[in-house]
Amino acid sequence: MFKSETTLRKGITKKKPTKSMKTIKKHILKKTTRTVHEVDYQDLNDFVHKVYPEMKDYHFVTQQECGNDCCFQFDTNSGSTDQDERFPKISNCELFAKLAEDGHIEHGDYIVNVCW
């Protein structure tokens, strides 16, 4: 019998862990798991035009003043919906809060992807 083996009942042998076989302690990254809704910017434009016809000139890219190949995160709880006046100049953050408040989308975190 080798040094790294032990005999169990009924003649079964089991290897003893050697230094190379010992478990290496892994570092764990602290994290939080949550749901994030991902939306394409053009789908958002179409949706806003359908649920708020008075915002027919709304365009995410213009409102956000962004370019191609980027993404933006919004939280429906972070925008103020105090001003309404049927949205003369509403930020995208306020728009997400308004959509959630009016029951058009779920409350939560959203990522808008811009890629054309």
Q: Which of 112, 77, 83, 111 is nearest to 97 (CA)?
A: 77
Within a domain: 70: yes
Residue 103: which of 71, 81, 72, 73 has the closest Cα? 81
pLDDT attached to residue 74: 96
Residue with tokens 């005999």: 7
The one-letter code for the residue type at 72 is F
pLDDT score, position 46: 98
96 lies in some domain: yes
- Please report the pLDDT score of residue 80 as a whole number: 63
Query: 45 with 64: CB under 8 angstroms?
Result: no
Separation between Cα atoms, residue 71 and residue 69, nearest integer Å: 7
Residue at 104 is within a domain: yes
Q: Per this entry, what is the length of the chain?
A: 116
In a domain, 15, yes or no: no
Give me the number of domains the chain comprises.
Answer: 1
Q: Structural domain of residue 63, as residue ranges? A: 36-114
64 within domain boundaries: yes
Examine residue 13 and state whether it is found in any structural domain, yes or no.
no
H/E stretch holding 44 reads helix 41-51
pLDDT of residue 63: 93
Q: Is residue 100 part of a domain?
A: yes
Residues of the chain with pLDDT under 50: none
Q: Is 12 inside any structural domain?
A: no
Predicted confidence (pLDDT) per residue in 19-45, tens digit: 555 667 789 999 999 899 999 999 999
**What is the model's pLDDT at position 25?**
77
Predicted local confidence at residue 47, as pLDDT: 98
